[in-house]
Amino acid sequence: GENVEQHPSTLSVQEGDSAVIKCTYSDSASNYFPWYKQELGKRPQLIIDIRSNVGEKKDQRIAVTLNKTAKHFSLHITETQPEDSAVYFCAPGRGGATNKLIFGTGTLLAVQP
Amino acid sequence: GAVVSQHPSRVICKSGTSVKIECRSLDFQATTMFWYRQFPKQSLMLMATSNEGSKATYEQGVEKDKFLINHASLTLSTLTVTSAHPEDSSFYICSASNAEKLFFGSGTQLSVL
């Protein structure tokens, strides 16, 4: 089966600092690369996504960069705030946003005020 | 935006009983729904892909006779955990697509005593 790994597994930053989480996947047919944020006991929320014809996408404090050749993509959060504290998952997939997604191992981000 | 409703949100049952979880797309038709399971502090693991009017496709290692999936209409998929045991205690979450994006239900916390 496909392997989807995230690094680091835990990340603690000071408020205002930047955070970067990397996702490595094995399925070369993946063409959709989303990042989800999940708070304890809640559903995952899509925060940003990118498709294989684009190398980078930015939405305010959040950005995603894709290196399809190396099969990894990263989540970048700038000017972190305590409310950014959550578990973040990457979930690469084939066939776009409506096909099945394989979730990564997860990264617990703690933003210290 | 599109809404996916999941019920119940929490269920406690005795070992050996069966539990049914419903996943409904409230304002769109979902030809495909997905069922995930999430153990504490772990990632979401895809259990099966549910297609309206056909048999579900189960991921490797998921017992189809234990986790019965029915997708009888374009707005409803159900997951029945049969003869539940304490090791089945987990957070179960569904997702549904509207041909553009994927939307997650709010999840069901199952506790088997």
Q: Do B60 and A89 touch (CB under 8 A)?
A: no
Measured between beta carbons, which residues in chain A are less than 8 angstroms from residue B33? none
Query: Which amino acid, one-letter code, is at B17?
Result: T
Helix (H, G, I), strand (E, B) or coil at B88: helix
pLDDT in tens, A39-84: 998 999 999 999 877 899 999 999 999 999 999 999 999 999 999 9
Nearest residue of chain A to residue B58 (CA atoms): A100
Q: Do A97 and B97 touch (CB under 8 A)?
A: yes
pLDDT in tens, B79-105: 999 999 999 999 999 999 877 778 999
pLDDT for residue B85? 96
Sign of the Cα torsion A94, A97, A100, A105 reads positive
**Hey, of A3, A38, A40, A43, which one would you mutate to test binding to chain B, going by the most B CBs within 10 A of its CB?**
A43
Rg (CA), chain A: 13
- Distance between A51 CA and the closest CA of chain B, angstroms: 13
pLDDT for residue B109? 97
Measuring CA to CA, which residue among B100, B53, B86, B107 is closest to residue A99?
Answer: B100
